[in-house]
Amino acid sequence: MASGFFAVLDDISALMDDVASMSKIATKKTAGILGDDLAVNAEKATGFLSSREIPVLWAITKGSFVNKLIILPIAFLLSAYLPTAITVILVLGGVYLAYEGAEKVYEYIFHRKDNADGDDPIEIPEEDLPELEKKKIKQAIVTDFILSIEIVIIALSTVVNETLTIQIATVSVVALLATVGVYGIVALIVRMDDYGYRLINLNEETDSFSDKVGMVLVNALPKIIKALSVVGTLALLLVSGGIFSHNVELFHHLFPGLPSLVKDFILGLGIGFVAVLLLQLINKLFKHKS
């Protein structure tokens, strides 16, 4: 009886070792997309009133967990029974990401003056703030869904030859780390100014070390948010371009002499602009008919 119990423990230990080693490999392979995920979601989780940043971020985080719960079982089933569908889903998701990135570029180029004053939530009537929050949360969760698919698929590809148990455990660990890690860092970023003010008010001495550190944090936050907005847009275009390059045969052999990053950016921006223009055309047709 005792020997059987220890044998089970030994099997569990061996399984956990396998999962840990495979999770490490999968995490390395998804590091790039996780960085993009961080940049995109940090940009989307900012721009709210200070008192609403954490509640909004928590709502997005819960949505991200739900996304993973939806994606994981479907990914395992499709991988086993209909692997072609995964490619189709990836490409459709890539079109959405390219559209989001290209739309930001389009707005910056053609409507920069119109948006010069920005849509600061503080200037919006208080009764409209809940609707604004819901809209941004929904957009963030949809984008997270597409990026989560890419993360799960890449992680799954690293353990495709392993047993089903190791596949499920490894990909689930990577998905959990992606959500906790990404949104944990985003929470630190969006609250950076609050930490800075606390350091400034830590003691009554002026020009103390804590004051200097606090001022650095406070002054750095707007620059970081602006940088994340740019990086997030680039990330959307690069991720989408990478999806097209790796999953569409025509694009895979296109521009063979270009570096992969440049090629991915061109593909993402080009297809994104096509998607933006098509959507605008469709909207105009519907408005004309109505």
User: What does the alpha-carbon distance between residue 244 and residue 272 come to, in Å, rounded to a whole number?
Assistant: 11
- Please determine, for residue 11, whether its predicted confidence score (pLDDT) is greater than 50: no
The confidence band for 3, taking pLDDT boundaries of 50, 70 and 90, is low
Give residue 134's pLDDT: 82
Amino acid letter at 138? Answer: K
* Helices vs. strands in the chain: H and E counts, helices first: 10, 0
Q: How much is the CA Rg of the chain, to the nearest whole Å?
A: 22
Q: Cα–Cα distances in Å, from 76 out to 26, 70, 159, 232?
A: 16, 11, 11, 29
The pLDDT tens digits of the residues spanning 185-218 come to 777 777 777 778 777 777 766 667 777 777 887 7
The confidence band for 269, taking pLDDT boundaries of 50, 70 and 90, is very high
- 8 Å CB contact between 150 and 93: yes
Give residue 45's pLDDT: 64
Q: Which residues of 156-191 are buried (b: 16+ CB within 10 A; e: fewer)?
A: bebbeeeeeebbbbbbbbbbebbbeebbeebbebbb
User: What does the alpha-carbon distance between residue 112 and residue 108 come to, in Å, rounded to a whole number?
Assistant: 5
* DSSP designation for 205: -
Better-predicted residue by pLDDT, 50 or 104 = 104
Nearest to 63 by CA among 153, 133, 154, 164: 133
Nearest to 44 by CA among 263, 229, 234, 261: 229
Mean pLDDT of the region 142-162: 77
The confidence band for 274, taking pLDDT boundaries of 50, 70 and 90, is very high
* Average pLDDT for the chain: 75
Angle in degrees, 0-180, between the axes of helices 53-81 and 129-158, rounded to the nearest 10: 40
In which element (H, E) is residue 70 found?
A: helix 53-81
- Please determine, for residue 255, whether its predicted confidence score (pLDDT) is greater than 60: yes
- Please determine, for residue 2, whether its predicted confidence score (pLDDT) is greater than 50: no
Give me the percent of the chain exceeding a pLDDT of 90. Answer: 5
Helices (H), 82-163: 83-110, 129-158
User: What does the alpha-carbon distance between residue 272 and residue 70 come to, in Å, rounded to a whole number?
Assistant: 26
Give residue 277's pLDDT: 92
Give residue 5's pLDDT: 47
CB-count exposure of residue 202 (10 Å: 0-12, 13-18, 19+):
middle
Better-predicted residue by pLDDT, 62 or 181 = 62
- Please determine, for residue 182, whether its predicted confidence score (pLDDT) is greater than 70: yes
